[in-house]
């Protein structure tokens, strides 16, 4: 077939600081998906975008073109649909209690999730530590479960934004991952194609997050909200702190266990706080602001939805979770107050213990992870356990301990408390 543009002309436009037209964007995404635009040409365009940026109109059209490269889910269910996306962090298990909680409040939650890479954990990896649970569902199974249970957490279907899948892998090997236009369009193309009418973004900031400072996080959050609104999806974003791991558990099975505690009305205060804050925002977008998620969580109804959600996907919610073959304890070297616990260091250590992967095809250990036995502000005495390392491969412990060198500090006084939710942006 005759092509409307050439890749070289599109690359040159952006390389020279020009604005890509809607037609150029539609063509280059479609041609790349079809294989007409070569990998090296899209690599050059990605680098030009990284260096020159895109305006809001370009980003919205780029996102739309990636959505148009595949299918859109048609979620014909009786409840209002609303979803949540996190930019990733350490101990970020929030999807696990959040999806059943929001469903227990009356909305439908189609949560298409991913796997972990590097120091950030993946929701599917965590759930796969539950015996029998399966991530892959067909579109009809997703809709059926939304109708019957109200929540589904599963892998994205193959036909969802295939252009993004190709471009995501390319960005990883061309050092263009950090481009806000490419990050924002990648996230939103998949989420909008999901078909939910509302979307809440949890944009993490801090050492354990992709965005290290508040200005970066604010820029990304603003761009995500703009894209959602431009595509007719009610969208808001919470910017939340990720300088310290969320909760006490970092890993796979250990995070599932902690999530169940939250659903049973217990669990760490920070996990409960963020779960309820995100639930309130999701319910507002779904038109259910009169429902109090804190009261629903305390009632046990969300735990009942969790059990139904896990069972519907073949899992046994009552089955024992995997236990590690080896446990190593890291102790406090002196007495005082735990002043800091670095999220990134803990995330890397958990990854090295087997909880994460360096490449998409690498396996993970269900039982691997870390328990943070003390969090900032807690008093400790010399010799007290601070971290508990779980792994099936004891030979991985030295590398994990190396990652934890300097990961926590002990001081005479407690640190000043910082808020978990830093800002909220609404469309």
User: How far apart (Å, rounded) are the C-alpha atoms in residues 60 and 347?
Assistant: 33
Reading phi first (left if > 0) and then psi (alpha if -120 to 50, else beta), residue 399 is in: alpha
Among 14, 85, 115, 126, the one annotated catalytic = 85
164 is catalytic: yes
CB contact at 8 A, 386 and 408: yes
- Residue 309: C-alpha distances to residues 131, 197, 255 (Å): 14, 21, 17
Annotated active-site residue in 171, 204, 280, 390: 171
Please pick, among 164, 241, 270, 342, the residue that the annotation labels catalytic. Answer: 164
> Measured between alpha carbons, how far is 277 from 326 in angstroms, rounded to an integer?
36
CA dihedral for 235, 239, 245, 247, sign (positive or negative)? negative
Tell me how far apart the alpha carbons of residues 369 and 348 are, in angstroms, rounded to a whole number.
Answer: 10
Report the half-sphere exposure of 108 (CA within 13 A, side-chain side). 21
The answer to whether the CB of 28 falls within 8 A of the CB of 7 is yes
Set 93, 190, 191, 204: catalytic member: 190
Please say if 190 is a catalytic residue: yes
Residue of 113, 129, 185, 186 marked catalytic: 186
> What whole-number distance in Å separates Cα of residue 78 and Cα of residue 409?
51
Q: Which residues sit opposite 109 in a β-bridge?
A: 151
Give catalytic residue positions.
85, 164, 171, 186, 190
């Amino acid at each position: 077939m005759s092509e409307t543009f050439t890749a070289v002309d599109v690359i040159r436009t952006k390389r020279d600081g020009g604005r890509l037209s809607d037609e150029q964007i539609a063509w280059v995404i479609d041609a790349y998906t079809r294989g007409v635009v070569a990998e090296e040409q899209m690599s050059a365009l990605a680098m030009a975008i990284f260096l020159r940026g895109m305006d809001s109109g370009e980003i919205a059209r780029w996102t739309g073109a990636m959505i148009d490269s595949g299918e859109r889910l048609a979620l014909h269910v009786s409840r209002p649909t609303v979803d949540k996306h996190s930019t990733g962090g350490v101990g970020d298990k929030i999807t696990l209690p959040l999806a059943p909680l929001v469903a227990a409040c009356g909305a439908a939650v189609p949560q298409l999730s991913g796997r972990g890479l590097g120091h950030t954990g993946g929701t599917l990896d965590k759930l796969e530590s539950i015996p029998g649970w399966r991530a892959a569902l067909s579109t009809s199974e997703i809709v059926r479960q939304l109708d019957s249970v109200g929540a589904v957490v599963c892998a994205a279907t193959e036909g969802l934004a295939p252009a993004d899948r190709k471009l995501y892998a390319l960005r990883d090997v061309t050092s263009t991952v950090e481009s806000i236009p490419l990050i924002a369009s990648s996230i939103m193309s998949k989420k909008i194609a999901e078909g939910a009418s509302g979307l809440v973004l949890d944009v993490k900031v801090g050492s354990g997050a992709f965005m290290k400072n508040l200005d970066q996080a604010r820029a990304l959050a603003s761009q995500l909200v703009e894209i959602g609104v431009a595509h007719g999806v009610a969208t808001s974003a919470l910017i939340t702190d990720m300088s310290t791991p969320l909760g006490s558990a970092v890993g796979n099975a250990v995070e599932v266990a902690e999530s169940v505690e939250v659903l049973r009305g217990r669990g760490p205060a920070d996990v409960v706080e963020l779960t309820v804050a995100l639930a309130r925002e999701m319910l507002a977008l779904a038109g259910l602001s009169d429902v109090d998620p804190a009261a629903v969580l305390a009632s046990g109804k969300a735990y009942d939805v969790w059990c139904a959600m896990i069972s519907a996907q073949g899992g046994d919610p009552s089955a024992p979770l995997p236990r590690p073959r080896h446990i190593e304890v890291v102790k406090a070297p002196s007495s005082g107050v735990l002043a800091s616990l670095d999220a990134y260091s803990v995330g890397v250590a958990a990854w090295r213990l087997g909880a994460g992967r360096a490449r998409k095809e690498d396996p993970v250990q269900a039982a691997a992870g870390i328990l943070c036995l003390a969090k900032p502000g807690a008093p400790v005495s010399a010799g007290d356990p601070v971290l508990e390392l779980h792994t099936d491969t004891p030979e991985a412990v030295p590398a994990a301990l190396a990652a934890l060198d300097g990961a926590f500090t002990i001081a005479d006084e407690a640190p000043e408390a910082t808020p978990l939710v830093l800002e909220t942006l609404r469309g």
